[in-house]
Amino acid sequence: MTRGEGAARVGGSRTASARKPGKTRTKAALGAKRGLRKSKGPTARFQRMTRLPRLRLARASRLLAWAAIALFAVFLAVQAWFLIQVIWYRTQDPVTSSVMREQLEKLSGENPRFRLAHQWVPYDRIANNLKRAVIASEDSRFAVHEGVDWNAIERAWDDNLRKGRVVRGGSTITMQLAKNLFLSGERSYLRKGQELLISYMLETVLDKRRILELYLNIAEWGVGVFGAQAAAMHYYGLDASQLSSQQAARLAVMLPQPRFYDRNRQSDYLERRTDIIERRMRLISLP
């Protein structure tokens, strides 16, 4: 063996021996990483297990948010539609109403040839007696409230709880106009809420005189009988401008249950209540 070969072997053995500690350190590091991975195994599995529900929850939250936005947009559109109609009725007289259409559909189903009795008359052609009687009977604070009489609603609530049944409604003339003109006769909190909103629209856009004129012309006064003119002709054969105080008071008392009193005109309650309203009429100021 030459000196060079010996030196090469010695150098090679030194290099090999020098590499062994490095390989040992590398294996140790890999082992540590593997151990770390093993120690993280349950956490990783838990994260994978919970990731999908979190994604689903986030997706559901986004869908709910968009649904809420869509519902709010529909709500605004419906309110805008009602407001446009209220503005229209500031100068235009309605030809029909929601309650009139509802009754016509029902009565024409029983008799296809049935026609409603209705004729529009302007405010000045309606007897002041009837205007005072309706305010005295239906809404004594009509001139001062803003569409909703919360005191009357509270009193009606207390009376209904005490009696255990609905004996009073607490609705103002404005609220009754909102229901008769735009809504159905069903009893629900949703309809009542919409009635309140329309009432505020009516009071904002229209004056009291116009509200009363609209109400007197579309109010139901009997089976298929709508408006002051049709009521005056139906019960007394008179024009709406010719009603006496007693006749007007009697018509006003009929308003809460017009179909019932149309069939039961000799009711004792009707007679007693008519006398009370006729006395109260003197205290009513007209818009």
Q: How far apart are CA 226 and CA 177, in angstroms?
A: 13
Same domain? 22 vs 103: no
Q: What's the pLDDT at 148?
A: 87
Residue 191 neighbours by CB under 8 Å, 6+ apart: 179, 183, 184
Q: Sheet holding 225-226: strands in order across?
A: 117-118, 225-226, 220-222
100 and 182 housed in the same domain: yes
The reply to whether 110 and 186 lie within a common domain is yes
| Structure tokens that stand for 157 in this block | 């609530």
Half-sphere exposure of 182 (CA within 13 A, CB side): 25
Both 193 and 131 in one domain: the answer is yes
Cα–Cα distance for residue pair 51/54, rounded to 1 Å: 5
pLDDT tens for each residue of 187-211: 778 888 999 999 999 999 999 999 9
Range of the domain at 12: 1-39
Domain check: are 100 and 3 in the same one? no
Same domain, 15 and 134: no
Low-confidence ranges of the chain (pLDDT < 50): 1-24, 28-39
In a domain, 52, yes or no: no
Q: Which run of H or of E encompasses 140?
A: none
Cα separation, 203 vs 174, in Å, equals 8
- Report how far residue 149's alpha carbon sits from residue 152's, in angstroms, rounded to the nearest whole number: 5
Cα radius of gyration rounded to whole Å, the chain: 40
Task: Take residue 52 and report the two structure tokens written for it.
Answer: 């999908």
Q: 5 and 110, same structural domain?
A: no
pTM over 0.85: no
CATH assignment of the domain containing 207: 1.10.3810.10
Q: Is residue 200 part of a domain?
A: yes
Task: In whole angstroms, give the CA distance from residue 120 to residue 50.
Answer: 69
pLDDT at 232: 98
